[in-house]
Structure 1
Amino acid sequence: MNTAAAVTRPPAAEALSDRDQQILAFERQWWKYSGSKEQAVRDLFDMSATRYYQVLNGLLDNPAALAHDPMLVKRLRRLRASRQRQRSARRLGAEV
């Protein structure tokens, strides 16, 4: 058995930029920052909340992000899908 292969990260995880990895780390523990999440996003990443969520949504669809932190990405995908269902139901006037 090749122990070096078992210890190293999958090659797909290396495709993430430092900023992308920092965004995933922030999502994993954003509640540790005082104040609002939007303010923490501005302070840490120097981008608007809207732009941050655009980047995050792109990351959730990136296989490299899934390889980097599968549990977090799957959890965020579930939250996104749930919110999309709720928005669709509100638009259609249905109960969720």
Structure 2
Amino acid sequence: MKASKIAYRPVGLALGAASGMVAGAAFKQAWKMIGHDDDAPDATDEHRTWQEILLAAALQGAIFAVVKAAVDRAGATTIRRLTGTWPG
């Protein structure tokens, strides 16, 4: 395993935690913007429709994936600028 990949691991973990918080906040704002309640439904919410639960899950998954990819890419690009090697 390359040294740059090992050195990037703690950075990647920190970025992953931060991206999870950012994605969670972005999802809450997006859910409010599309005109639903302040709280997104859970799969076991009895009084929510299938459509609403599946829409929330799809939106949350898309936002988390985009934020994670953007943060991972930015972190790898920054490591490359600092060390001259790509961490992947």
Q: Where on the TM-score scale, by shorter chain, does this alignment land: which range? A: 0.3 to 0.5
Q: Give the TM-score of the pair, scaled to structure 1.
A: 0.30
Q: Give the TM-score of the pair, scaled to structure 2.
A: 0.32
Between the two structures, name the one with larger relative contact order (CA 8 Å, sep ≥ 6): 2
More helix by share: 1
Determine which structure has more spread, i.e. the larger CA radius of gyration. Answer: 2
